[in-house]
Structure formats: structure tokens, C-alpha cells
Copies of this chain bind each other. A is one copy, B any other.
Amino acid sequence: MEARHLRYAVALAEHAHFGRAATALGIAQPPLSKQIADLEREVGARLFDRTRQGVFPTAAGEAFLARARRALDEIAAASVDAGRAARGETGRLRLGFIASALLDPLPDVLRRFGRERPDVRLELHEMSTSRSSTALVAGELDVAITLGPPRGAGAEHLVSVPIGHDHVIAVVSTAHPYAGQPAVSVDQLRRQPLIVSAGEDEPAVVAGLRILLGADSSALGGATVARDVHTIIGLAASGVGIGLGPSRMKAAPRPGAWFCEVTPRTPLPDLVLSFAARDHSPVLSAFLDTIRKNCPDVGAALDDRLRPPA
């Protein structure tokens, strides 16, 4: 049985007349008669009563037509749904990210993406850089925002683009002597109680701090450690010590906390966006497009991917 048979049966039921139904279908009457006859033979039941007053469905015909109409609706919807999916209007995007990305690029990016693609289901997974990398390679994530480019087995099949630079800043209580200063020097940090990050991505941040503190990095041994930047800010605001963390901390201002630069300016690993090189899903492309609109200094790698949107 073909969709044609369904369309013809539905048209015949609508017009209750072979000739007019055929005209409406753009064919002649004899082919319609034949197709309906073929259909009735295949179904094994008479579907229409041909009376002098018109052509009306039998009980079997009514049962058939109900299903036929639904089938035709599904067929029409199949094309529509496929088209929407192909344009990236529907679908799913699994995003892995480090917690601190929630401070700066993610809120704007997610808000804009949610507005532009309301029917795309966003799955957000906070995880470390290394887990993001593994999950990307395993196909369990579509994109990831990590601290520095992902490393490890299969990382060569990933495309990575820095989406923002970062450096170390300090946060102190507004009651602290350093409060009000635009910057503090490394010298001013020595022999002070420090608060630093201790998450899974600690090595990257700690490496930055070691560079910063140089010979005195032993001070880190006695530092207070916190799992995320919000805790660092909170502890610093309550006077526990001087918090050190990424400059994106400034996106989470808080009464009682004072942010200042640290001189010399010490870079931290870049925030990096990664995805599978062979992934050409339109939803991913749409997300990359949003990223580009939001992050002015993305690399040319994204442009390469966004150029041919076929």
C-alpha cells in the first residue's frame, strides 16, 4: 500500500464523487476508480458504497479513513520536523563546562541561545576540563567550555578555540587595608593569609599562582582552599584572607567584597571552547554562532566552521 492510496481515499470521502475527487487530485476519473478498487482488494473489504446519491464510506471505510488521515498527517509532519531539525531549530545540545564559566560567558550565551532557539533542549553539565575532554571524545557531549585546551586520548579529533583570556586578580574584604586600591602588588601578598581554588581544575589555576608568587610559592601550602569562586569571594569578604582567582570573579560582585588587579599581571589558562571536528550538527553550528556574537575575540576556527552553513 502506498501513500497515494490514502490520499485518494481521503479525497474520495471528501468529495463523495469519483469524478470531482479525481479532478481535485489532478487526475482523471478512471485511474481513481482503479486505485480505489486496488485498495479495496488489498484491504480485503469494500471501503465505499457507490449509491445514486453519492459515494459514502462503509463502516470499514470509516475505520480505514481515520487511520489514513493520521498517517498522512504524520507524513506531512515528517518533512516539517526534518526541515526544522536540519536548520537546527529543534534538537539537543549537551554542554559541559567548568563552574567558573557560569560567571562570565555562559549567562549571556545561554540567554541569547535560549531566545534564538527556544525549541532546542539544552543539557548543562558542570564538570572538570579533563572530564569534558573525555566526554567529548566519547560522544557524550556536543560542546565543552574548559580551562585550557582539552588533552588526552582522542583530543586530536577535537577543535578547540580560545574564547576569552584570563589572569589572576585578588578579592579582599572592604574592611581590609587593601580595599579601595585598584591593584595590589605581589609584594603586598607575601605573608598574608591566602584563599585559593581547590577544584578538580586546581592544577591549572595553581600553576598560575605559582608563577605569580615565584620563589615564595611555599605560601600556597598554608593557604585556605575553596571548591569554587563564590566560596573564595565569600571567605575573602568575611575577612578570612586575600582571595586569589580568575578575573572573571568580577562578574560576581558582592557587598563587602573588593576586587583588585594583581601586579604583575599573571595570565591563567584561557577559557576554551571545544567540539568534535566531525560534528556538523546544525544545532552545534547555531551555538557556535551565538558564541561568536558574544565573545569578540574568538579565533578564526569558528569562522571556518560557520562559513559553510550547509
Contacts and interface: CB of A to CB of B under 8 A. Distances in A.
B2 A59 contact: no
Interface stretch (A68-76, A160-168, A289-297): A68-76
A43 interface: yes
B86 A75 contact: no
A79 B42 contact: yes
A283 B44 CA distance: 17
Interface in A78-122: 78-79, 81-86, 90-91
B86 A46 contact: yes
A6 B79 CA distance: 11
Interface residues of A, number: 40
Contact of A81 (B44, B67, B74, B79): B67
Copies of this chain, tallied across the complex:
2
B64 A78 contact: yes
B64 A79 contact: yes
Contacts of A45: 82-83, 85-86
A166 B91 CA distance: 72
Contacts of A90: 63
A175 interface: no
Contact of A78 (B68, B85, B86): B68
B75 A44 contact: no
Contacts of A75: 1, 6, 67-68, 71
A244 to B, nearest CB: 43
19 contacts: A1-B75, A1-B79, A2-B2, A42-B79, A43-B79, A43-B82, A43-B83, A44-B83, A45-B83, A45-B86, A59-B86, A59-B283, A60-B82, A60-B85, A64-B85, A67-B74, A67-B75, A67-B78, A74-B74
Given A43-B78, A43-B82, 5 more contacts: A60-B82, A67-B74, A67-B75, A71-B74, A71-B78
